[in-house]
Amino acid sequence: METFIVKYSSIKMRKIKLIPTVFLLIFTAIQCTYDNEEEYFAVNTTSCDTLNVSFTSTILPIMEANCFACHNSTDRTAGITLDNYAEVKATVLTGRFLGAIKHEKGFSNMPRSAAKLDDCTINQIEAWINQGMIEN
């Protein structure tokens, strides 16, 4: 009987020691299955580039998508045209442009019949202005 108890205890102790090891191996295997090079080195497409802002590739497309419907050379709503560099720069220099697109108190919110531009778009416009409103 004593031999049986010793063998049973020995088997039971091995099982107890084995359970954490098996758990650790399974946990490690699960963690490693999703690790791959593409996930680690993926480009973050949700970031907002405010360093490489140009009038032609950044600002003009924003104006086209959000402003041209009302502020073009044909309609000139409120006497404002935003379909070319000279007019955009002149409008920015009035001091009304940023306040309008940021929906600040005391300014006419633009775009008028649409939601406020997203933060990235506003940050890109502001970066272009702060970088000297270069025509590029």
pLDDT at 76 over 80: yes
pLDDT at 50 over 80: yes
pTM for the complete prediction?
Answer: 0.65
pLDDT digits (tens, 9 = 90+) for 22-35: 665 565 656 654 45
Predicted confidence at residue 81, as pLDDT, reads 92
pLDDT at 89 over 70: yes
pLDDT at 91 over 90: yes
CA dihedral 88, 132, 55, 99 (to 10 degrees): -50
pLDDT digits (tens, 9 = 90+) for 5-23: 556 556 555 656 666 666 6
CB 93 within 8 A of CB 80: no
Residues 6+ apart with CB under 8 A from 98: 92, 104, 125, 126, 129
pLDDT at 109 over 90: yes
pLDDT at 122 over 70: yes
* pLDDT band at residue 113 using 50, 70 and 90 as cut-offs: confident
